[in-house]
Each structure stands twice: as C-alpha cells, then as structure tokens.
Amino acid sequence: MPGYNKQFELTVDDMDLIETALRHTKQSLSTELMNQAENPSLPGEEAREIDASVKKITELLGRLHNQKQFYRPRVGAYVSG
C-alpha cells in the first residue's frame, strides 16, 4: 500500500488559491445551512452533514493559518500598528 507524500512543493500563490477556495466553499455551505434553517421541513441529517463540513473547513483554515510565517524583524523590538 502506498504511503502519503509528506513533502509538498506549493507556492504562496497555490496556498492563497487553496485558502480562497476553502473560504468560498465554507461561505456556500453556511448559506445553504442558513437556508435550511428557514425551512424546517428539510431533513436535519443533511444540516448536520453540512455543519460537520463547515467545521472541518474551519479547522483546516486554522491549521493553514498557523503554518504561516509572519514578518518579524531580526533585530530590535517588534512594534505593530
């Protein structure tokens, strides 16, 4: 059985595209979830699946954010704003 590739060759633009796609998907799913809330006759199981998908996307976006390296000066104190 093949293993997972642990080394990726993605550019910053690739990562930006992935993040944008995830945010767009999350927005679409959230809109669909809100529409289902307005119509209580729709099945609740589908709403739970959408909610689980939104949660997974949110967690993935958080992990991507935590891997970013933000600018910090090498010398001196960092002053934001």
Residue 79 lies in a domain: no
Axis crossing angle, helix 12-38 with helix 44-66, rounded to the nearest 10:
150
Residue 73 lies in a domain: no
Cα distance between the two ends of the chain: 51
Residue 24 lies in a domain: no
HSE of 9, CA atoms in CB hemisphere, 13 A: 0
Residue 61 lies in a domain: yes
The predicted pLDDT at position 24 comes to 98
Sign of CA dihedral 50, 24, 22, 2: positive
Global pTM exceeds 0.75: no
When pLDDT is averaged across residues 19-23 and rounded to a whole number, the result is 96
> What are 28-78's pLDDT values in tens digits?
999 988 888 777 666 678 888 999 999 999 999 999 988 887 777 778 777
**50: containing domain:** 12-19+44-67
Residue 33 lies in a domain: no
Number of domains in the chain: 1
Residue 35 lies in a domain: no
